[in-house]
Structure 1
Amino acid sequence: MRHPLPRNIVCPLIALAIVFSFCESAIAAEKLELSVVTDRPDAIYNTGEEATFLISVTKDGKPLAGENGMTVTYRVDDFISSGPDYPNGKLTVGSEPSVVKVTCSKPGFLRCMVTLDENRQLTKTAGAAFSPLEIEPSLPVPADFDEFWAKQKRKLAEVPAKAKLTPVQQPDKKIECFDLQVDCLGGAPVSGYLGKPKDAKPKSLPAILWVHGAGVRSSSLSNAIKGANLGMLSLDINAHGLPNGKSAEFYKEQYSGPLKGYPHFGREDRETTYFVGMFLRLIRALDYLTSQPEWDGKTLIVIGHSQGGGQALAAGGLDQRVTFIATGVPAICDHSGRAAGRINGWPKLVTTLPDGSPAGAELKAARYVDAVNFASRTKADAIMSVGFIDVTCPPSSCYAAYNQLKGKKQIINKPLMGHAAPGDIHKAFIDAVKKHLKEQAGK
Structure 2
Amino acid sequence: MKLKLVSAIWLLAALNLQAQAPAAAKEPVAPAAPSAPVLTLKAVTDRADALYKTGEAATLTIEAQQDGKPISGKVTCVFSKDGLQPQPAQTLELKEGKATITGKLDEPGFLQLRVTSGKTTALAAAGYDPLLLKPSMPVPDDFDAFWQAQKAALAQVPLKPVLTPVEKAPKGVEAFDVQIECLGKPVSGYFGRPQGAKPKSLPAILHVHGAGVRSANLGAVSWALNEGGMLSMDINAHGLPNGKPKEYYDALAAGELKDYRIEGAKDREKIYFKGMFLRLIRAIDFLTAQPEWDGKTLIVYGASQGGFQAFAAAGLDARVSFICAGVPAGCDHTGSQANRISGWPKIVPNDASGKPDPEALQASRYFDNMNFATRAKCKGAVVTVGFIDTTCPPTSVYAAYNALTIPKEMHTDVLTGHASTPAASKFMQAAALKHVRENKGK
Query: TM-score under structure 2 normalisation?
Result: 0.89
1:75/1:82 contact within 8 Å kept = no
Task: Give the aligned residue type for 1:428.
Answer: F
Task: Give the aligned residue type for 1:115.
Answer: T
Task: Give the aligned residue type for 2:219.
Answer: S
SS in 2 for 1:269: coil
The equivalent of 1:3 in structure 2 is none
Task: Give the aligned residue type for 1:421.
Answer: S
The equivalent of 1:385 in structure 2 is 384
The equivalent of 1:410 in structure 2 is 409
Tell me, in whole angstroms, the C-alpha distance in 2 between the residues paired with 1:262 and 1:127: 31
Task: Give the aligned residue type for 2:156.
Answer: E
Cα offset, 1:58, TM superposition: 3.2
Q: Using a 3 Å threshold, how does the CA distance of structure 1 residues 357 and 80 change in structure 2: closer, same or farther?
A: farther
Tell me, in whole angstroms, the C-alpha distance in 2 between the residues paired with 1:264 and 1:28: 43
Cα offset, 1:40, TM superposition: 0.8
Identify the range of structure 1 (243-252 vs 221-230) with the bigger mean alpha-carbon deviation. Answer: 221-230
SS in 2 for 1:314: helix
2:83/2:112 contact within 8 Å kept = no
- Where in structure 2 are there 5+ consecutive unaligned residues? 1-30
Tell me, in whole angstroms, the C-alpha distance in 2 between the residues paired with 1:30 and 1:132: 39
SS in 2 for 1:393: coil
Q: Using a 3 Å threshold, how does the CA distance of structure 1 residues 171 and 292 change in structure 2: closer, same or farther?
A: closer
Q: Using a 3 Å threshold, how does the CA distance of structure 1 residues 358 and 227 change in structure 2: closer, same or farther?
A: farther
Cα offset, 1:148, TM superposition: 0.6
The equivalent of 2:342 in structure 1 is 344
Tell me, in whole angstroms, the C-alpha distance in 2 between the residues paired with 1:96 and 1:256: 44
Q: Using a 3 Å threshold, how does the CA distance of structure 1 residues 40 and 354 change in structure 2: closer, same or farther?
A: same
Q: How many corresponding residue pairs? A: 412
Q: Using a 3 Å threshold, how does the CA distance of structure 1 residues 267 and 81 change in structure 2: closer, same or farther?
A: closer
Tell me, in whole angstroms, the C-alpha distance in 1 between the residues paired with 2:257 and 2:391: 20
Cα offset, 1:121, TM superposition: 3.3
Task: Give the aligned residue type for 1:33.
Answer: T
Deviations 1:362-409 (A, max 9, x none): 111110111211111113211111111111111111111110112221
Task: Give the aligned residue type for 1:94.
Answer: K
1:333/1:345 contact within 8 Å kept = yes
Identify the range of structure 1 (242-251 vs 253-262) with the bigger mean alpha-carbon deviation. Answer: 253-262
- Map 1:28-427 onto structure 2 (within 5 A): 31-64=38-71, 69-83=72-86, 86=87, 88-95=89-96, 97-116=98-117, 120-186=118-184, 188-230=185-227, 231-380=229-378, 381-427=380-426
SS in 1 for 2:397: helix
SS in 2 for 1:376: helix
1:216/1:255 contact within 8 Å kept = yes
Structure richer in helix, relative to its length: 1
SS in 2 for 1:254: helix
Cα offset, 1:96, TM superposition: 6.8
Tell me, in whole angstroms, the C-alpha distance in 2 between the residues paired with 1:356 and 1:227: 49
Tell me, in whole angstroms, the C-alpha distance in 2 between the residues paired with 1:124 and 1:281: 40
Q: Using a 3 Å threshold, how does the CA distance of structure 1 residues 227 and 130 change in structure 2: closer, same or farther?
A: farther
Tell me, in whole angstroms, the C-alpha distance in 1 between the residues paired with 2:357 and 2:313: 27
- Where in structure 1 are there 5+ consecutive unaligned residues? 1-20
SS in 1 for 2:403: coil
Cα offset, 1:41, TM superposition: 1.3
Cα offset, 1:298, TM superposition: 0.9
2:133/2:399 contact within 8 Å kept = yes
Q: Using a 3 Å threshold, how does the CA distance of structure 1 residues 80 and 173 change in structure 2: closer, same or farther?
A: closer
Cα offset, 1:113, TM superposition: 0.7
SS in 1 for 2:309: helix
Cα offset, 1:171, TM superposition: 4.6
Q: Using a 3 Å threshold, how does the CA distance of structure 1 residues 101 and 227 change in structure 2: closer, same or farther?
A: farther
Tell me, in whole angstroms, the C-alpha distance in 1 between the residues paired with 2:325 and 2:182: 24
2:81/2:110 contact within 8 Å kept = yes
Task: Give the aligned residue type for 1:105.
Answer: D
Q: Cα RMSD over matched residues? A: 2.0
2:82/2:109 contact within 8 Å kept = no
Higher alpha-carbon Rg: 1
Tell me, in whole angstroms, the C-alpha distance in 1 between the residues paired with 2:73 and 2:431: 45
Tell me, in whole angstroms, the C-alpha distance in 2 between the residues paired with 1:286 and 1:182: 11
The equivalent of 1:6 in structure 2 is none
Q: Using a 3 Å threshold, how does the CA distance of structure 1 residues 51 and 165 change in structure 2: closer, same or farther?
A: same
Cα offset, 1:97, TM superposition: 3.4
1:177/1:225 contact within 8 Å kept = no
SS in 1 for 2:204: strand
Tell me, in whole angstroms, the C-alpha distance in 1 between the residues paired with 2:65 and 2:266: 51
Cα offset, 1:437, TM superposition: 1.2
Task: Give the aligned residue type for 2:414.
Answer: P
Tell me, in whole angstroms, the C-alpha distance in 2 between the residues paired with 1:390 and 1:148: 32
Task: Return the structure number with greater relative CO, CA threshold 8 A, min gap 6.
Answer: 2
